[in-house]
Structure 1
Amino acid sequence: MPPPTSATLTTADGTCLAYTDHHPAADPEITFLLLHGLAGHQGEWDTLTARLLSDGHRVVTYDARGHGASTRTPPATTRAAHVEDAVTLIEHLDLAPVTLLGQSLGGHTAMLLTASHPHLVHSLILVEAGPAGPAPDLPTRIATWLDSWPTPFTSLREAAAFLGHEAWTRTLERKHDGWHPAFDRTTIIDTVAELATTAYWSEWSRITRPTLLVQGEHGTMRPDEPARMLAHRPGTKVVRIPDACHDVHLDQPARLHEAIRTFVLDLDLA
């Protein structure tokens, strides 16, 4: 299997995006673009990426603006800026039509992209993501969560124990007093500002591409959200993954992969 290609792309507003292009051994069956969640990074997808590659798919991952190795304090943190970043990457790498797979905030970005740029998208997979809102207390909840981190961590083991997954530790920066988050707190909080005031049901209703919604059994979606999503778009396939919380891709990567594989196979047979 060819080694992955890691590079950076500079967007129109000067934001630098770090991305990795993973190619299968033969011509790809499907091209996936994977979008991580808030305060995350593209390395969270490593386990799922390996499984998708073994199925013969091409997989592109990237660090969203304000995250990972991408620009830490970009000039904009809006939903539109995040969508435009993904569009720019799709066009730069000639990925269309692409299957978008996004978790949490990344899923929300994928949803908005599919609604506004359907010609670029083959199908959509949302993991613990949907159009619900507004959520006025969201910025405060995110700030409280970030401020609860007992930083600096004295070791990566301590960080993994607190954050719940080893993958969350990979972008921590080591300084003289321990391990610190690599992101800017204000940027992360500002990134959810629009989600605090806006619902996106009209965008969801405009989507025409085949869609899979994946929930964690112990996830954080609003209890009525999946049913409302189905009411707006009855053709949506919904899968609930046992023993998974919000980070389904980290909690149960094998079960998530199986749900994706089944979804893809059903599309081929349709």
Structure 2
Amino acid sequence: MLHGLAGHAGEWDTLARLLRADGHRVVALDQRGHGASERRPKDVSRAAYVADVIEVCEQLGLDRPVLVGQSYGGHAALLAAAAHSDRISAAVLVEAGPGAGSPETLAEVGGWLRAWPVPFPTREAAVAYLGGGPVGEGWADGLEERDGGLRPRFDPEVLIASLAENTGRAWWEEWAAIDVPVLAVLGQNGIIPGDEYAEMARRQPERLRAVCVPGTGHDLHLERPDVLHSLVAEFLGQFLDSFL
């Protein structure tokens, strides 16, 4: 399980518990530059993030796992599936796709990360600022008590640098190279535009199954982990079986 930009492995706790109850082994990774992983890695390329996924699989003896990723973590899952389809069974992409980012998006994300009013004096203040409800709670879980308040476990400049490679470049060749089943889960109010999804379906008509979750946004894994669990469980139990 691969979290999104500025996220942490704990975002998957609810979904992980549900999948473990189904009998699955679940591993969630703090990606480089995030959480308990190295705070300021020298290499923040997409290739480095993919290499981390494969290394974790090797170190833990994961035999052709299913990758589940949200947003930037979903993009890492997409690229890992493209480059290593022989070592991965399937991918679940939550609010992620191969489309190119824009300089405006990079500037917007960078401005948002730099603007966090840290340290947050209380958890309640952090939850409120980070969106409130289950989304704010999930983001607040990634903070740590340090230097007089709650602070993020990442360096904004590192994350901005890691996002820059996606600016102005699409990954359609990698998408077309995927040779495993893919479940794309989109939020009704998410960030994947309709034309991007249409092109995904056109290029991978046999591999792709997609579902849009009504009333959810980009962080649908936090908003509706129960619905996501149902979709993933169905994918594992039905669609995936037809390919194995």
Q: Give the TM interval when normalised to the shorter protein.
A: over 0.9
Name the residue aligned to 2:156.
185
Contact 2:33 2:41 (8 Å CA) reproduced: yes
Listed as ranges, the matches of 1:72-91 within 5 Å are 72-91=39-58
C-alpha deviation, 1:102, in angstroms: 0.5
**Matches of 1:201 and 1:40 in 2, distance apart?**
25
Other structure's SS at 1:197 match: coil
Decide which of 226, 235, 239 is 1:254's aligned counterpart: 226
Contact 2:90 2:240 (8 Å CA) reproduced: no
Runs of at least 5 residues in structure 1 that lack an aligned partner in the other structure: 1-33
- Whether 2:185 is the aligned partner of 1:214: answer yes
C-alpha deviation, 1:223, in angstroms: 2.9
**Matches of 2:47 and 2:105 in 1, distance apart?**
19
The structure with the largest helix share of the pair is 2
Contact 1:66 1:73 (8 Å CA) reproduced: yes
Other structure's SS at 1:102 match: strand
- Whether 2:202 is the aligned partner of 1:231: answer yes
Other structure's SS at 2:67 match: strand
**Matches of 2:196 and 2:150 in 1, distance apart?**
37
Alignment-mate amino acid for residue 42 of structure 1 = A
Name the residue aligned to 1:168.
139
Name the residue aligned to 2:32.
65
- Whether 2:65 is the aligned partner of 1:93: answer no
**Matches of 2:107 and 2:4 in 1, distance apart?**
18
**Matches of 1:166 and 1:106 in 2, distance apart?**
19
Assess, with a 3 A threshold, how the Cα gap between structure 1 residues 162 and 61 changes in structure 2: closer, same or farther. same
Decide which of 228, 238, 242 is 1:266's aligned counterpart: 238
Identify the structure with bigger relative contact order (alpha carbons < 8 Å, sequence gap 6+).
2
Other structure's SS at 1:48 match: helix
The structure with the largest strand share of the pair is 1
C-alpha deviation, 1:176, in angstroms: 4.5
Q: Displaced runs of 4+ in structure 1, greater than 3 A?
A: none
Decide which of 108, 111, 123 is 2:78's aligned counterpart: 111
Other structure's SS at 2:54 match: helix
Q: CA RMSD in A?
A: 1.3
TM-score, with length taken from structure 2: 0.93
C-alpha deviation, 1:115, in angstroms: 0.6
Between 246-255 and 143-152, report the one with greater CA deviation: 143-152
C-alpha deviation, 1:137, in angstroms: 2.2
**Matches of 1:192 and 1:176 in 2, distance apart?**
27
- Whether 2:212 is the aligned partner of 1:240: answer yes
Contact 2:181 2:240 (8 Å CA) reproduced: no
Residues 211-237 of structure 1: per-residue CA shift (max 9 Å, x gap): 100001111112311111001111210
Residues 192-250 of structure 1: per-residue CA shift (max 9 Å, x gap): 01111311000000111011000011111123111110011112101011221101110
C-alpha deviation, 1:111, in angstroms: 0.5
**Matches of 1:153 and 1:195 in 2, distance apart?**
30
C-alpha deviation, 1:138, in angstroms: 2.8
C-alpha deviation, 1:144, in angstroms: 1.3
C-alpha deviation, 1:173, in angstroms: 2.7
**Matches of 2:44 and 2:122 in 1, distance apart?**
31
Between 213-222 and 61-70, report the one with greater CA deviation: 213-222
Contact 1:243 1:252 (8 Å CA) reproduced: no
Residues 12-60 of structure 1: per-residue CA shift (max 9 Å, x gap): xxxxxxxxxxxxxxxxxxxxxx000000000000000000001000001
Contact 1:243 1:251 (8 Å CA) reproduced: no
Contact 1:139 1:190 (8 Å CA) reproduced: no
